Amino acid sequence: MGDFNLALIIVAIVVCIIVFIFNVYLLVNYQHPDDKNQAYFPKFVVVLGLSVAVISILMLPADVANRQACRRAIYNGACNLTLPMKDLWIAVYIIDAVLVFFVIPFAMFYYEGDQDKTVGKRMKSALLWVITTAIVCGLLLGILYGLVGKVDFTVMHLSSSTTNFPSSWDFSSSQPCIGNGAHQCSAYLASPSSEKTWTMRTTFPEYVVALATIVGSVLFSIFGGVGIACLPLGLIFSFIRRPKAVITRSQYIKEATELGKKAKELKKAADALHQEERSGSKGRKWRKNVKAVEKELLQLEEDVKLLEEMYPQGEKAETAWALTVLGYLGKLVLGILGLIVSVAWVAHIVIYLLIDPPLSPFLNEVFIKLDDIWGLLGTVAFAFFCFYLLLAVIAGAMMLGLRLVFITIHPMKWGATLMNSFLFNVALILLCSISVIQFCATAFGYYAQATAAQEIFGHTLQSLRGIKYLYKYNVFQIAFIVLAGLTFVYYAAFGWRRKKPSGRFQLSS
């Protein structure tokens, strides 16, 4: 067992290092050229936030592996020698909350501050915004906690009389009680009227975690439901819409000329908006026009990228075209594999969560059988499914983009992502990661039983007053399945169509 624990600690350290290096790689390749060699504090927050989000997802499989480390122990207290998962979970939640509600907003306010001000003034302004936001959120949470911060547990009052132990034991389905015909088991035969509701006040940290989980669950249902379908289907339909052949030079010149005109229009519109900003007229119309320019700029970037793919230039044009073809083939393979995983996820949710009682443990049994083949094989598969769900959330957020009415999602583009967009998306991922953990702990409850995560996401969260009905009636799971189905229908109807370049652009008057 000691060797198993040592191996688990080594694997955990190696995974953390790999995650950190990978997040640095993402930052370097996604960042906008304007942010190179500057904005170091926001970059540090981005890498830290992404690392916490990914590690928190991978902690659930580590929790399962940690439980298995003392499963066959032959002496009491063996589990005390394993990793302190409950303490680690609490630490991750604290770091997550501090990043989402304090550090990331401070970094965003600081980054978006007036560049003409000194560093001290920008930090003071950002700190004032964060303190104001924290006070408002604290008052709101305090009022909610005082009014409805209680849990309602359904309990049954059981009682039984006593009797002497018999000299022989004779139990069966027809005789489950002690006593020679006396049936000394009134607790076993308790009437339904003995059910009562036991109300107690939860702790404030548990209530804050519960509300954060609810907010994350709403976002998770939207982005995860859309992403579980669009992640594989987007790759497959990207292959279907791929450029089939290299265009001629005359076609390239014609398309490039049109894109050049569009770029001049957008530059003119951006200059006009910049002048309005300097004059101080930043009203509703100005914000609407800014969003319109951002949307058109993203579309222009996509059109330019597609044109470069269809007409590669330079001495290695043939090599570039070959790599483009291989890239689309890779998307097809990944899309098919992802579609299999997505279908397995949806089927598991329906079979194990929405049908009561469950038809089958399904993926839980798959993981258990894989563990029987090799100690950590089932845990690795379990980690893959949990991490895939987080990728689905990210894919859903990137697909919805600026289409949402009630919130603006900062789009992330390879080599063109500003730090404020990075920070916003990291906060979104951190908020959703809590719900992904809770969802996985529930969906794979049979496999992940007796873990520290199940203890945290136990009956307290699902018995909280005003919130328990969302879990009782599987609101989030149903919303997840419905949105996944609608996304699948959308791709079936429109996914094969190639996007046409937009027409002339004008600011709204």
Q: How many CB atoms lie within 10 A of CB 379?
A: 24
pLDDT of residue 173: 60
Q: Are 377 and 370 in contact (CB under 8 A)?
A: yes
Q: Which of 90, 100, 84 is nearest to 203 (CA)?
A: 90
Q: Are 451 and 85 in contact (CB under 8 A)?
A: yes
User: For each successive 10 residues of the chain (509 residues), what is the average pLDDT?
Assistant: 60 83 84 76 86 84 73 50 72 81 82 68 80 84 80 71 64 60 55 71 75 81 90 88 81 85 85 78 74 77 80 78 86 93 93 86 87 79 88 82 50 72 83 83 80 66 74 86 90 67 53
51-69 residues labelled b (16+ CB within 10 A) or e (exposed): bbbbbbbbbbbbbbbbbbb
Q: How far apart are CA 96 and CA 107, in angstroms?
A: 15
pLDDT of residue 2: 45
Q: How far apart are CA 211 and CA 68, in angstroms?
A: 31
Q: Token pair for residue 367?
A: 């993981």
Q: Are 160 and 185 in contact (CB under 8 A)?
A: yes
pLDDT of residue 333: 94
Backbone phi, psi, residue 150, to 5°: -130, 160
Query: Residues 6 or more apart from 35 whose CB is under 8 A from it?
Result: 43, 418, 419
Backbone phi, psi, residue 70, to 5°: -120, 20
Backbone phi, psi, residue 201, to 5°: -85, 130
Q: Are 410 and 428 in contact (CB under 8 A)?
A: no
152 sits in which H/E element: strand 150-156
Query: What global pTM score does this model have?
Result: 0.75
Q: Which of 73, 76, 85, 10 is nearest to 450 (CA)?
A: 85
Q: Are 92 and 59 in contact (CB under 8 A)?
A: yes
